[in-house]
Amino acid sequence: MPHLLLIDDDHDLGPPLGSYLRRFDFTLEQALAPSQGLARLAAGGVDAVILDVMLPEMDGFEVCRRLRTGPPALQGLPVLMLTARGELTDRVVGLELGADDYLPKPFEPRELAARLTTILRRQRGAAAVPAAPLAAEPVLRFEGLSLDPLRREARRLAAGEPAGPALELTGTEFELLLLLAREPGRVFSRDEILGRLRGHDAELFTRAVDILVSRLRRKLEPLDCIRTLRNAGYSFAGAPLGALR
């Protein structure tokens, strides 16, 4: 039974929502402040987070940022942002910071349950990929960049110099970069990227892929190795230097 953490300072939201979600085999606990929520997440045992934006201490965007740049166990934790701020700019900011979905208040609990089910299904689909081929995969080297699938690290390369420190990529950002780099020049559609990264039944936002690519490009600067093909998708354009085993 998936265990959810609701980070929301509305005392009256958690109990009825938890009662409703039990119909869909979810358990829910509530943290009324970000510090309480982050401490609970650090203890483990949470499968997904429902995160409000308007919070005391810090807003939900900052909480999401801390999760995506925090310990590896939290970086890939599914996050659904639930807030009264439903403007497009707020949704884009949340997705840019790594949220998996965004549902404005007032909301239908049935829709929330459906979105949570989809998010967790994607995560299970990604986790089901066999690990054995990954362990044997060599380090990929391109002009200005190396990718280590086993350590899940991306590093800058400069001619005649050792590789630089690992880039601060979220798990999804690294998965996207590795997906493209494994087949340089191949064009991946947005729908295919969603399906490959999150498992099957990916119905979220194709717009989320654009936001993810934009975020990844900023972290790779000044390296320009991801190409956009209008109305088609994205491809990797880095010049290969060979692989290291």
For the cut 90, the answer to whether the pLDDT of residue 239 exceeds it is no
Same domain, 20 and 113: yes
CATH number, domain containing residue 46: 3.40.50.2300
DSSP code of residue 24: G
Cα angle 209-130-171, degrees, rounded to a multiple of 5: 35
For the cut 60, the answer to whether the pLDDT of residue 203 exceeds it is no
For the cut 60, the answer to whether the pLDDT of residue 135 exceeds it is no
Residue 212 banded pLDDT, cuts 50, 70, 90: confident
Of the listed ranges 19-28, 40-49, 149-158, the one predicted with least confidence: 149-158
Could you tell me the CA-to-CA distances from 79 to 49, 94, 99, 103, 119 in Å, in that order? 5, 10, 5, 11, 9
For the cut 60, the answer to whether the pLDDT of residue 83 exceeds it is yes
Those residues whose C-beta lies under 8 Å from the C-beta of residue 192, and which sit 6 or more positions away, are 233
Same domain, 60 and 46: yes
Same domain, 149 and 239: yes
Model pTM above 0.85:
no
Same domain, 76 and 137: no
pLDDT of 240:
83
pLDDT of 97:
75
Q: Phi, psi at residue 3, to the nearest 5°? A: -105, 125
Residue 85 banded pLDDT, cuts 50, 70, 90: low
Beta partners for residue 148, in sequence order:
153
Same domain, 72 and 178: no
pLDDT of 101:
81
pLDDT of 202:
40
Structure tokens at 194: 């969603």
Same domain, 30 and 80: yes
Same domain, 58 and 122: yes
Same domain, 117 and 150: no
pLDDT digits (tens, 9 = 90+) for 7-16: 999 999 999 9
Cα–Cα distance measured from residue 24 to residue 19, given in angstroms and rounded to the nearest whole number: 10
Name the domain boundary from 76, 101, 127: 127
Name the domain boundary from 92, 127, 162: 127
pLDDT digits (tens, 9 = 90+) for 219-232: 999 999 999 998 89
For the cut 90, the answer to whether the pLDDT of residue 166 exceeds it is no
Same domain, 122 and 14: yes
How many structural domains are present in the chain? 2
pLDDT of 32:
97
Name the domain boundary from 127, 150, 178: 127
Percent with pLDDT over 70 in the chain:
82
What is the rounded average pLDDT of the residues 229-243? 84
pLDDT of 146:
92
pLDDT of 131:
42
Residue 168 banded pLDDT, cuts 50, 70, 90: confident
Q: Which domain holds residue 188?
A: 132-244
Same domain, 142 and 232: yes
Same domain, 76 and 123: yes
CATH number, domain containing residue 235: 1.10.10.10
Same domain, 80 and 195: no
